[in-house]
């Protein structure tokens, strides 16, 4: 059996990913602004903008959260961008009906953008997508033969997701479901 992959982040990769992420969030903000007409004015007289959440899931996601949060605060000054990381639980410990009735059950610990959200290692990916409502999902090295991309695609809040990991086998995700390749014989 092949080992689970772990991601080592290079400064070049983080820099390029941060630039891409900031551009994707600006595009998402443009789409959201067009949808609501951007009529409301913020406290500074400018237009208001929604909080943008980025969800990092999988191996190495906590380091990615740290790096992205730091760089995005410089690339998008004045924006309310929240970056959260998690490794999804395999099964839920909650009543699924709560997520339909209380979709705001999760709250960020403070308005300080440098502070990460409270750690939630007991959430499934579906629960995290409902609670964090990310605009962008960065998925790194899914467990072997597990496909998270279906849940990500089904999320109404996600405008874009990036899958990071090897595409040539079942070492990261499911070769067929995740990457569209024939299963190994």
Domain presence at residue 24: no
CATH of the domain at 73: 3.40.50
Number of domains in the chain: 1
CA distance 32 to 9: 31
Q: Which token pair is 27? A: 């595009």
Mean pLDDT of the chain: 75
Domain presence at residue 135: yes
18-35 mean pLDDT: 86
Q: pLDDT band at 113, cuts 50/70/90?
A: very low
Q: Are 68 and 21 in contact (CB under 8 A)?
A: yes
- Strand pairing class (52-58; 136-140): parallel
Domain presence at residue 83: yes
Distance between alpha carbon 86 and the CA centroid of its chain, in Å? Answer: 9
73-95 mean pLDDT: 82
Domain presence at residue 46: no
Q: Give the CB-side neighbour count of residue 26, counting CA atoms within 13 A.
A: 11
Q: pLDDT band at 76, cuts 50/70/90?
A: very high
CA distance 160 to 138: 9
Domain presence at residue 61: yes
Domain presence at residue 182: no
Domain presence at residue 1: no
Domain presence at residue 95: yes
77, with CB counted inside 10 A (0-12, 13-18, 19+), is exposed
pTM for this predicted structure: 0.76
Residue 69: domain span: 54-141+148-177
Q: Is the pLDDT of residue 101 over 50?
A: no
């Amino acid at each position: 059996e092949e080992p689970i992959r772990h991601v080592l982040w290079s400064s070049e990769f983080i820099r390029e990913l941060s630039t891409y992420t900031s551009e994707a969030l600006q595009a998402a903000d443009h789409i959201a602004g067009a949808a609501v007409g951007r009529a409301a004015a913020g406290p500074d007289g400018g237009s208001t903008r929604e909080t943008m959440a980025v969800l990092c899931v999988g191996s190495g996601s906590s380091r990615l959260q740290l790096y992205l949060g730091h760089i995005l605060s410089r690339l998008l000054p004045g924006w309310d961008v929240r970056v959260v990381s998690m490794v999804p639980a395999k099964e839920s410990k909650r009543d699924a009906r709560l997520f339909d009735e209380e979709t705001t059950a999760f709250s960020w610990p403070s308005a300080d953008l440098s502070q990460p959200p409270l750690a939630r290692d007991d959430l499934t990916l579906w629960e995290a997508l409902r609670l964090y409502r990310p605009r962008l999902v960065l998925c790194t090295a899914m467990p072997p033969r597990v496909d998270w991309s279906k849940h990500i695609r089904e999320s109404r809040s996600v405008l874009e997701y990036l899958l990071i990991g090897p595409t040539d086998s079942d070492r990261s995700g499911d070769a067929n479901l995740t990457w569209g390749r024939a299963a190994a014989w």
